[in-house]
Amino acid sequence: MATIKLSKDYLKNELDLPYSAIVDEIVETSRWSIHHRIVFEDKGKFYQAYYSEGATECQDESPWEYEDEIDCTEVELREVKMKKWMPVEN
């Protein structure tokens, strides 16, 4: 698994993340924070990273507020088959 470290300033200022992410999904919530997974492109490769933001207007937490370098894992888009429970049709 290829992982690189990118600076918070590079992600926010040069790539305009998390706003320009290809994918931005909520993966977990806690009492004070909403935790996201994003996928973004940089120099022809795609990476995923995680960030948190405040869950309410009283929580002053912005993406990567407490980190200077962020671990970014290289990813690729693949087709995945899955099974899902569905109602029986008569």
**pLDDT tens digits, 32-88:** 999 999 999 999 999 999 999 999 888 888 999 999 999 999 999 999 999 999 999
pLDDT band at 1 (very low <50, low <70, confident <90, very high): confident
pLDDT (tens digit per residue) in 12-40: 999 999 999 999 999 999 999 999 999 99
Residues contacting residue 36 through CB under 8 Å, at least 6 positions apart = 18, 24, 25, 26, 27, 50, 51, 52, 53, 63
Question: Can you give the pLDDT at residue 60?
Answer: 85
